[in-house]
Amino acid sequence: MGTRSRLTLTCCLAGLLTLGTVTTASAETQKGYASYYHDKFQGRTTASGAPFDQNQLTAAHRHLPFGTEVVVKRPDTGQEVRVVINDRGPFVKGRIIDLSKRAAQKLGLLNRGVAPVMVTQIN
């Protein structure tokens, strides 16, 4: 392999590694809005197959694998809660996570309904 080929290959590899790093970093923390499940979903089957329990610290996310733990933080109040992803959603523009009622209570969302949050994956 010639010097020019090695240099080209090295540059391409470095570019791919850099691209991968950027993608991973942006996937770890997301900014958007959180909402919470209505009481009517209590006991219904989630996308993971588990029954929904509004008294557990769980949440729905569009893409994160089931069982992933995340910290949801309200930047406006500093309140945060740790939840486990066990369902898919939300499917409303701008919203990035749907929380169980217990998780929403810990974030002070019950009266407000929707609030800006940062979601950080921890496992």
Where helices occur in 29-119 by DSSP H, the ranges are 101-106
Tokens 């008294």 belong to residue: 55
Model pTM score: 0.76
Q: How far apart are CA 96 and CA 105, in angstroms?
A: 18
Please give the Cα distance from 92 to 113 (Å, whole number): 13
Residue 40 has a pLDDT of 93
Q: 39-60: string of b/e by CB count within 10 Å (b at 16+)?
A: eebeeeebebeeebbbebbbbb
The band of 2, judged by pLDDT with boundaries at 50, 70 and 90, is low
Average pLDDT of the residues in 94-107: 97
Quote the CA–CA distance of 27 and 49 in Å, as a whole number. 25
The pLDDT assigned to 74 comes to: 98
